Homo-oligomer: A and B are copies of this chain.
Amino acid sequence: MGMFACIVAGAQNQKPRARDLGIPFDGTPGTNNAITDVKGVEVGYKTIISGSGKLVVGKGPVRTGVTAIFPRGKGSLDRVFAAWFTLNGNGEMTGTTWVDESGGLGSPILITNTHSVGVVRDAVIEWYAKRMKPGEYDGDVSLPVVAETWDGFLNDINGFHVTKEDAFAALEAATSGPVMEGNVGGGTGMICHGFKGGTGTSSRKIVIDQANYTVGALVQANYGKRDLLTIAGVPVGKEIMDLQRIEGKPGEDDGSIIVVVATDAPLLPHQLERVVKRVALGLGVVGGRGGNSSGDIFIAFSTANPEVTKNKGIARIDMLPNDVISPIFEATASATEEAIVNALVAAETMEGINGNKVFAIPHVRLLAVLKKYGRITR
């Protein structure tokens, strides 16, 4: 078990990402055009791919995985301010009640398939419990944040193949630097606007009052109707209506999308609530409408303010004034948009249970459509 995909964001000699194809986006990305451009953020995957052919529940085939994102690196339990938002709540993100109440997050964010949220959640607690001294108790790590999207079209989801060891592996694999995209981690078995979806990432560099900030997004994209797919304003979905996962059936908006936004701008929880809402705008421009069966759940955190984690005395906090916050809103929408398109561009055609097959968006045809609508000149 375990064939790892290897599309590394920003790495050389890889298949191209959306910008490499010439697709235009607003704003300027960071070094790796990845969520890890926000200093401290680390991403790790465990990708689980095995078997093929007919589904035997409990045996496979398996197309799933786990994604782990540490706000301050895997060595740190320090809190960050955070906030979450749901465009359509047909999904799960555990731990959000405490995020709301406390204004933050003291544990990593994990993403997996719908039926494995529980095992991953308890695994996060166990991973930390083993690292803590006996009797030590940290409320934050007892309420882990674990989200999901559904991969049952390709994966033996009722076989419950994700184990606590898989969650440990994703946590331990977390690193900074380039980030793999496509059929990796929790995104392994995903479908997006009827094409093969998965994991994507992007970032934006912005300047506010002479200070430099970065906003990064990572998506696990599993949502959307084909005919609504819009890239760079172009109705790509309407132009490519074949290559459906079920022939002759354009499909419903029946998936989900999890988006994680990171920034180093010093934002308070109520400001991060504002930021995380703008994810919906980025999703909207790609064609997301939050269909009834979609779990479109987003979380944002700020790595500024190390003193968030203080538990006595007075914490000294920096706050960016609301009056100058709008560029962060725009960067959030834009990074989300690009991360989704990156997920689509990176994902590769996959066959799963019972021969179910989901096609990658064909780059050549995508570019032809964009050219037809005057959005690329090559």
* Interface, chain A (partner B; CB < 8 A): 55, 57, 86-98, 100-103, 114-123, 125-126, 129, 134, 137, 139, 142-143, 146, 150, 152, 158, 160, 209, 211, 228, 230, 232-235, 252-253, 266, 268-271, 274, 277-278, 280-285, 288-293, 295, 297, 307-308, 310-326, 329-330, 333, 372-375
CA distance A269 to B283 in the complex (A): 25
CB pair A281–B278 under 8 Å, yes or no, is no
Chain B residues whose C-beta falls within 8 Å of the C-beta of A375 in the assembled complex: 373
**13 A-B interface contacts by CB (under 8 A):** A57-B134, A89-B98, A97-B297, A103-B271, A118-B119, A119-B119, A119-B122, A139-B293, A211-B314, A268-B268, A278-B290, A291-B326, A317-B318
Question: 9 closest A-B pairs (Cβ-Cβ)?
Answer: A233-B233, A89-B101, A118-B118, A118-B122, A281-B284, A118-B121, A89-B97, A103-B270, A311-B323
Q: A92-B95, A209-B313, A326-B289 are in contact. Are A142 and B134 (CB under 8 A)?
A: no
CB pair A290–B281 under 8 Å, yes or no, is yes
CB pair B101–A117 under 8 Å, yes or no, is no
CB pair B228–A230 under 8 Å, yes or no, is no
> Which of A120, A280, A283 neighbours the largest number of chain B CB atoms within 10 Å of its CB?
A280
CB pair B325–A319 under 8 Å, yes or no, is no
CA distance A88 to B274 in the complex (A): 7
CB pair A122–B116 under 8 Å, yes or no, is yes
**In chain B, what residue has the closest Cβ to A232?**
B233
Contact of A280 among B121, B129, B160, B280 (CB under 8 A): B280
Chain B residues whose C-beta falls within 8 Å of the C-beta of A271 in the assembled complex: 103
Contact of A289 among B253, B278, B322 (CB under 8 A): B278
New A-B pairs, 10, CB < 8 Å, besides A86-B101, A269-B270, A316-B317: A97-B295, A100-B270, A118-B120, A118-B125, A230-B285, A253-B326, A284-B284, A292-B325, A316-B319, A317-B318
Contact of A230 among B86, B233, B291, B320 (CB under 8 A): B233
CA distance A120 to B101 in the complex (A): 24
Chain B residues whose C-beta falls within 8 Å of the C-beta of A230 in the assembled complex: 233, 285
**In chain B, what residue has the closest Cβ to A146?**
B118
**In chain B, what residue has the closest Cβ to A317?**
B317
Q: A97-B89, A322-B102, A324-B312 are in contact. Are A333 and B122 (CB under 8 A)?
A: no
Smallest CB separation, A17 vs chain B (Å):
21
Smallest CB separation, A24 vs chain B (Å):
9
CB pair A277–B87 under 8 Å, yes or no, is yes
CB pair A101–B274 under 8 Å, yes or no, is yes
Smallest CB separation, A58 vs chain B (Å):
10
**In chain B, what residue has the closest Cβ to A314?**
B318
CB pair A252–B326 under 8 Å, yes or no, is yes
